[in-house]
């Protein structure tokens, strides 16, 4: 990966180069370097296997430029990127792409400006994960598998079914999944915020599915940590326990039932249904299920939802956003009442200046400025990492 000091120096040089361009009114330089390490897990008790497969890795780095170009009395906004080159040549190429693709955006107010908030999370990455060795990654994989096998081997239920502990392997015990490590570095500067800001983060995650094949039972589990020391066998043990608990399961007749949602079910509801509706972009597009409800009750008084983007030790926490703004704590629903929205700078400004904002929100945006603080402008993508080749979206 590119050292953070090199990213910082390259951003400084890139910003100086942009300021020399006569047709650029304002611009932002964003550079990132990402690493993804992965090892596949595949244990089968009744078929010869390796248990932990060969580790793999992917790295990428590059520069993204967003610029506002002078075009007579009009302004055009463009974005361009260049992979695997953070030199001035890379900046020049990204700028040329931004210039060619620039368009007039009547809803564009400007690039991100300081919000008045201060950064609170610094030096939170784990050097052990950032400099991870192959043998340590393999060891993490075996930790998860061994955790699952320990649960299976000590299960009275499985011993009873097998008839003898020495015959557990005949049940067709399967443990599959992966251990993944994310390594992220970024640097950003702009005309409005010329001092280069940097961020560095790490995470280790595991997603496991276990089966007792003969009993047609399956269970899943996951675990995550920001440090290697904090990574446990939780994903494996949870998956094994769930697979055992599923033995003898039956289908319930159609009907209405009271249920207790597990972590995964709650996560699915939040990720696909609830959180997307708590974004400024969805309110602007009039597509949120919470339209016209700002300041009103939208759930039980027992429900409070908070996005703590700067929470120390939380896997998704970051020091700054990919717009160069501080992360922080955003209360979305407070005891059932809608009080805040996830936002980046562009969508925050666009919604607050919308002529129909009061109608869409159900409240005067001028009285709810704290509800639209842009703490969620990130450049995430499938597979992980903070990507130089995309513009900031809204991510919790």
User: Read out DSSP for 84-145?
Assistant: T--SHHHHHHHHHHHHHT-B--TT---S----S------S-S-HHHHT--HHHHHHHHHHHH
Compute the Cα dihedral for 126, 129, 130, 132 and give only its sign.
positive
Report the alpha-carbon distance of residue 56 to residue 45 in Å, rounded: 24
Residue 138: how many CA atoms within 13 Å on its side-chain side? 9
What is the chain's length?
A: 396
The candidate with the shortest Cα–Cα distance to 380, out of 351, 349, 344, is 344
Report the alpha-carbon distance of residue 131 to residue 1 in Å, rounded: 10
User: Is the CATH number 3.30.2290.10 carried by domain 4-245?
Assistant: yes
Given a contact cutoff of 8 angstroms between Cβ atoms, the answer to whether 80 and 50 are in contact is no
**pTM of the predicted model as reported, rounded to 2 decimal places:** 0.95
Residues 6 or more apart whose CB falls under 8 angstroms from that of 9 comprise none
Only one residue has tokens 């339209």, namely 291
Report pLDDT for 255: 96
Query: How far does Cα 246 stand from its chain's mean position?
Result: 31
Digitized pLDDT (tens) for each residue of the chain, 396 residues in all: 999 999 999 999 999 999 999 999 999 999 999 999 999 999 999 999 999 998 999 999 999 999 999 988 889 999 999 999 999 999 999 999 999 999 999 999 999 999 999 999 999 999 999 999 989 999 999 999 999 999 999 999 999 999 999 999 999 999 999 999 999 999 999 999 999 999 999 999 999 999 999 999 999 999 999 999 999 999 999 999 999 999 999 889 999 999 999 888 999 999 999 999 999 999 999 999 999 999 999 999 999 999 999 999 999 999 999 999 999 999 999 999 999 999 999 999 999 999 999 999 999 999 999 999 999 999 998 778 999 999 999 999
Report the alpha-carbon distance of residue 323 to residue 346 in Å, rounded: 10
Report the alpha-carbon distance of residue 261 to residue 8 in Å, rounded: 45
Report the alpha-carbon distance of residue 223 to residue 232 in Å, rounded: 7
CB atoms within 10 A of CB 74: 9
Report pLDDT for 76: 97
Report the alpha-carbon distance of residue 147 to residue 143 in Å, rounded: 6
Report pLDDT for 103: 97
Report the alpha-carbon distance of residue 239 to residue 145 in Å, rounded: 10
Tokens of 36: 């993804």
CB atoms within 10 A of CB 3: 10
Within the chain, residue ranges assigned H as helices are 4-18, 88-100, 127-130, 134-153, 156-162, 234-245, 263-269, 280-284, 345-352, 357-361
The candidate with the shortest Cα–Cα distance to 366, out of 294, 261, 285, 260, is 294
Report the alpha-carbon distance of residue 83 to residue 75 in Å, rounded: 27
Residues 6 or more apart whose CB falls under 8 angstroms from that of 250 comprise none
Report the alpha-carbon distance of residue 255 to residue 233 in Å, rounded: 37
Only one residue has tokens 């008045």, namely 116
Report pLDDT for 151: 99
Report the alpha-carbon distance of residue 39 to residue 137 in Å, rounded: 7
In which residue ranges of the chain is CATH 3.30.2290.10 found? 4-245
Measured between alpha carbons, how far is residue 251 from residues 161, 254, 270, 283, 332 in Å?
21, 9, 26, 39, 37
Report pLDDT for 54: 84
Residues 6 or more apart whose CB falls under 8 angstroms from that of 196 comprise 8, 11, 12, 15, 187, 188, 189
Report the alpha-carbon distance of residue 108 to residue 115 in Å, rounded: 17
């Amino acid at each position: 990966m590119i050292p953070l000091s090199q990213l910082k120096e390259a951003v400084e040089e890139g910003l100086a180069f942009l300021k020399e361009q006569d047709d650029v009114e304002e611009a932002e330089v964003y550079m990132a370097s990402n690493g993804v390490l992965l090892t596949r897990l595949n244990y089968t008790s009744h078929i010869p296997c390796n248990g932990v497969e060969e580790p793999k890795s992917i790295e990428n780095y590059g520069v993204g430029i967003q610029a506002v170009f002078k075009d007579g009395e009009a302004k055009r906004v463009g974005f361009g990127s260049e992979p695997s080159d953070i030199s001035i040549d890379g900046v020049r190429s990204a700028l040329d792409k931004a210039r060619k693709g620039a368009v007039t955006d009547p809803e564009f107010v400007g690039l991100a400006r300081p919000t008045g908030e201060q950064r609170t999370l610094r030096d939170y990455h784990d050097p052990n994960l950032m400099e991870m060795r192959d043998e340590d990654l393999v060891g993490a994989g075996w930790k998860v598998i061994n955790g699952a096998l320990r649960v299976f081997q000590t299960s009275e239920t499985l011993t009873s079914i097998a008839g003898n502990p020495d015959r557990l392997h005949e049940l067709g015990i399967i443990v599959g999944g992966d251990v993944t490590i994310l390594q992220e570095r970024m640097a950003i500067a702009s005309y409005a915020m010329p001092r280069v800001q940097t961020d560095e983060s790490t995470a280790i995650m595991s997603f496991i599915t276990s089966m007792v094949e003969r009993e047609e039972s399956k269970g899943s589990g996951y675990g995550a940590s920001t440090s290697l020391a904090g990574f446990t066998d939780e994903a494996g043990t949870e998956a094994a326990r769930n697979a055992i608990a599923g033995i003898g399961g039956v289908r319930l007749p159609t009907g209405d039932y009271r249920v207790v949602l597990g972590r995964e079910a709650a996560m699915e509801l939040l990720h696909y249904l609830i959180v997307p509706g708590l974004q400024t972009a969805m309110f602007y597009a009039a597509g949120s299920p919470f339209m016209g409800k700002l300041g009103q009750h939208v759930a039980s008084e027992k429900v409070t939802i908070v996005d703590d983007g700067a929470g120390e030790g939380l896997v998704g926490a970051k020091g700054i956003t990919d717009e160069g703004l501080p992360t922080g704590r955003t209360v979305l629903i407070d005891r059932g009442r809608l009080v805040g929205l996830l936002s980046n700078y562009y969508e925050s400004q666009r919604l607050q200046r919308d002529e129909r904002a009061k109608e869409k929100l159900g409240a005067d945006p001028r009285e709810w400025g704290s509800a639209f603080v842009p703490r969620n402008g990130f450049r995430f993508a499938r597979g992980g990492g903070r990507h130089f080749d995309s513009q900031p979206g809204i991510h919790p």
